[in-house]
Homo-oligomer: A and B are copies of this chain.
Amino acid sequence: MKDNKTKKMSLIVFSGSFDKLVAAFTLATGAAAVNYEVNIFFTFWGLNAIKKKEGRSFIGKGVLARFFNFLMGGRKKVPLSRLNFCGISPKLMTSLMKKRNVATLNDLYQAAKELKINLYACEMSMHILGLTLQDFDKEVKEVLGVPRFLEYSEGGDRIFI
């Protein structure tokens, strides 16, 4: 029973900044690599990570939501949570990561999909931001609310990032 338990990890990825997404996917892929069942539940800013459009784009329903989605960005256009310098830092950081043979955010994301990490999108955030499942990568399996998330993540860690 104990083994079962410690072998599941569920992340609530609320943050959409470059650095926190790198941290989330590093943790997730590292856990999946040692055979954890890993669930990631993307909510609000975190939805940036799984958008089909990797840059900024006017997606979603309603003028306000479209504008907000544009400003939020996409996986290849996310800010550093501090010292962002108008978006220069994530670019420099990515080049440093490449130079030092560390997986970039995009590498980590692709690895997550290859490792069959379960990717879920938060129903309520999508509702607010006027997004539908079609706005996300096809690997995103399901749109969930809290009760379903609790069900899927039961018996393992729940970590908010």
Contact = CB atoms under 8 A, between A and B. Distances in A.
Interface of A: 1-2, 5-6, 9, 12, 14, 16-17, 19-20, 22-23, 26-27, 29-31, 33-34, 36, 43-45, 62, 64-65, 68, 71-72, 79, 81-83, 89, 92-93, 96-97, 100, 102, 124, 127-128, 130, 145-147, 149-150, 154-155, 157-161
Contacts of A12: 23, 27, 159
Nearest to A28: B146
A94 to B, nearest CB: 10
B82 A45 contact: yes
Contacts of A65: 96
Contacts of A36: 150
Copies of this chain, count:
3
A66 to B, nearest CB: 12
Contact of A19 (B33, B45, B146, B158): B45
A36 B149 CA distance: 13
A66 B96 CA distance: 12
A117 to B, nearest CB: 13
A121 to B, nearest CB: 14
A6 B152 CA distance: 12
A92 B64 contact: yes
A6 to B, nearest CB: 5
A127 B102 contact: yes
Contacts of A92: 64, 68
